[in-house]
Amino acid sequence: MEYFWYIVLVLMLAIYVVLDGYDFGAGIIHLFFAKEEKDKKAITNAIGPFWDANEVWLIAAGGVLFFAFPTLYASSFSGFYLPLIMVLWLLIFRAIGLEMRGQIHHPMWEVLWDKAFGIASLLLALFFGVALGNVVRGVNLGMVENGVSSHEAHYFFLPLWNPEFSPTSTHQGIIDWFTLLLGVIAVVSLTIHGANWIIYKTNSSLNEKLKTFIFRANFILLALVIVSLLIWHIIEPKPFHNFIQYPFLWILPLITFTGIFGLFKVRSFKRDGYGFIFSTLFLIGGLASTVASIFPKLLPSTNTINPSLTVENVAAHEYGLSVGMSWFFIAVVLVAIYFTIQYRVFKGKMDDIGYGEH
């Protein structure tokens, strides 16, 4: 039963990355590319009807984590308390940046909220990539030092960074050179993803420029992914052991690289939505490959005293998990109806939606 909820959790996170990921990317494009008012409007129109619904997937994933894996929820929400609060504030500023901009038509007011929206989107992409890096790297569960665990086995707490800025240090930080690398990969990939969404949903004058940007940025993304794979052995001595043991898992990296290589043809696609499909393949394949590489660990332990938090040792009681399954299928039906209606109502180009205008 715990494996069912593990799959549900991963699927929810993947859906969140794809859906709210294009919101983050659109915000980054808004920050660096949109200089004219009509381009800014085109970008906000493209994400306006969707962004708040997309964020619900993060809340839903948190709910599943609390329900199905309460020990992991307690451990991670206390250990990552500082960055989680920062993410919360960034989500708030991104939202009010979108909602407050159109309340007063004054250049100073509009620039303030444009920057809030763009910078919050950029930092959110960075922080979520860093968060994935922390999960891959693992944490010092139990706060072990000199072979002695000073806290209970699932407890940890991390500062924002450590003096060594190293992922292999005993006293780890949220940000080190490895987690920062994954954060940069997240920023580049979500910016590409957001650009593809803007191309798909608008006729903005930016679209041709964005296609050129995607083509060039894709070289950077490919280089960063290759570098991350080459240095992974520093964090995990046998990073591909699950792929060797279960060869069918190689389909996940194949999906990832299909997405990357497909994006190199973005300037010649006949339909605007093809780029978004390939960036989606990269995001889903990359996240799934990462999760598969550490399975069944949910949060690896960097010491040998306390065990890693796994699907088995952090799951709730089987009775509760089985009862929750009934409610889960009801929720799936309701969510499917909602999203079907939403994306049918707002299908096609959205240049004339007029989101945020007062």
What is the four-CA torsion angle of 137, 63, 185, 293, rounded to 10 degrees?
50
pLDDT in tens, 132-190: 999 999 998 988 888 788 888 888 988 888 888 888 887 889 999 999 999 999 999 99
pLDDT in tens, 13-27: 999 999 999 999 999
With CA atoms as reference, report the closest residue to 95 among 47, 129, 143: 47
Do the domain assignments include residue 350?
A: no
Please tell me the total count of domains within the chain.
1
Tell me what pLDDT residue 31 has: 93
pLDDT in tens, 207-241: 999 999 999 999 999 999 999 998 888 888 888 89
Residue with tokens 């799951």: 315
Do the domain assignments include residue 251?
A: yes
pLDDT in tens, 45-103: 999 888 888 999 999 999 999 999 999 999 999 899 888 999 999 999 899 988 888 78
Tell me what pLDDT residue 35 has: 87
The per-residue pLDDT of the chain, averaged, comes to 90
Do the domain assignments include residue 352?
A: no
Do the domain assignments include residue 202?
A: yes
Tell me what pLDDT residue 123 has: 96
What is the four-CA torsion angle of 45, 46, 49, 52, rounded to 10 degrees?
-110
Do the domain assignments include residue 353?
A: no
Do the domain assignments include residue 355?
A: no
Do the domain assignments include residue 354?
A: no
Do the domain assignments include residue 351?
A: no
Are 112 and 96 in contact, with CB atoms under 8 Å apart? no
Name residue 229's beta-bridge partners.
Answer: none
Tokens describing residue 210: 């964005």
Note down the domain range covering 295: 2-345
